Amino acid sequence: MQNTITQEFITKPEQRLQKTPDKILLRYIEQRLNKIFFDEVNSQDSIFKKVSNNAIYKIALFISGNIKRACSIGIAGETASGKSTIAYDIINTIQAFADEYCFENVITRINTDDYYYDRSEMVKKAGSFAEFAKHYDLDVPEALELELMKKHIKQLLFGDTVYLPKYDMSGTAIRKDNVTKAVPSKIIISEGLFTLTEKVVDAFDFKIYVDVSHNVQKERFYKRAQERDLGDSADEVYKNASSKAKIYIHPTAMKADIVLSGEADRAAYKKFINKLLAIVEDVHCKNFAMPH
């Protein structure tokens, strides 16, 4: 995938902006964001494979306060692409910033995997999760209650507290509903295989896809399969996951505002998030003078 930030975007005309305080601040933030993204996209070993111009503008709208509601971020990618790790790094970096300034309810995570339907009785009947996995397809969107996930995201964005389900990934296929309390926050973030599929994608303001090479993804998958005790079913599970990814997951990259490299250094993700937070800090946490 080609990088899509260009110098033309950074120097685009300003005629559409009137010089009201909100618009001046918006343009100032947008210019700073343009520089940060442009430098990263064009750096060696960039964390980005694609960034849309519209994504940067939307970030500026939220940081400037031109959009006052909470924002939602959806992260998708193939199994073992690194999407969960990236999500955790984003969450931890933002939370550390929030803790420094004593901000509350800044970010809430929704795990797409928790919306798998309960299939515990089927696992018991099969005798083990490995046997169950041979006959039940977990790698299709229909295996999850994505409509409920979308409902929960929308409720949080509208300011409602919700209770999220919890799915046992250890091999029981048990899902317990109304387990985890989620409070409205400035940012709602979710990651999973099917986060950008049709039933839920329009719940997100920012759509992120994590891309990874086949060899790295396969190596990570088998390491995880060993941890989950998939045994001799691992090969069949991997084969099915890969074939279904071509149908259900790879196409969602086209919907993404941002495509990240799932192989970039974790420290690089955190460093980039901190650059964005530096703008938030300047605008909202310090004695900020309106730019002219």
Residue 245 near residue 78, CB atoms below 8 Å: yes
Q: Give the separation between CA 205 and CA 122, rounded to whole angstroms.
A: 37
For residue 133, give every residue at least 6 positions away whose Cβ sits within 8 Å of its Cβ, in sequence order, or none.
Answer: 230, 233, 236, 237
At residue 134, the pLDDT reads 79
Residue 145 near residue 117, CB atoms below 8 Å: yes
Report pLDDT digits (tens) over 164-175: 999 998 889 999
At residue 289, the pLDDT reads 61
Report whether pLDDT(286) > 80.
no
At residue 20, the pLDDT reads 60
CATH architecture of the domain with residue range 70-261: 3-Layer(aba) Sandwich (3.40)
Q: Are strands 162-167 and 175-182 parallel, antiparallel or unpaired?
A: antiparallel
Q: Give the separation between CA 94 and CA 109, rounded to whole angstroms.
A: 12
Lowest mean pLDDT across 46-50, 140-144, 153-157, 226-230? 226-230
Report whether pLDDT(285) > 50.
yes
At residue 290, the pLDDT reads 61
Report pLDDT digits (tens) over 247-273: 999 999 999 999 999 999 999 999 999
Report pLDDT digits (tens) over 60-84: 999 999 999 999 999 999 999 999 9
Listed in order, strand segments (DSSP E) in the chain are 48-51, 71-77, 107-111, 162-167, 175-182, 187-192, 206-211, 258-261
Residue 288: which pLDDT band, with cuts at 50, 70 and 90? low
Q: Give the separation between CA 291 and CA 5, rounded to whole angstroms.
A: 25
Report whether pLDDT(39) > 70.
yes
Residue 287: which pLDDT band, with cuts at 50, 70 and 90? low
Eight-class DSSP state of 116: B
Report whether pLDDT(40) > 60.
yes
Q: Taking the alpha carbons of 192, 54, 258, 24 in that order, is the dihedral positive or negative?
A: negative
Q: Which residues pair with 211 in a beta bridge?
A: 261
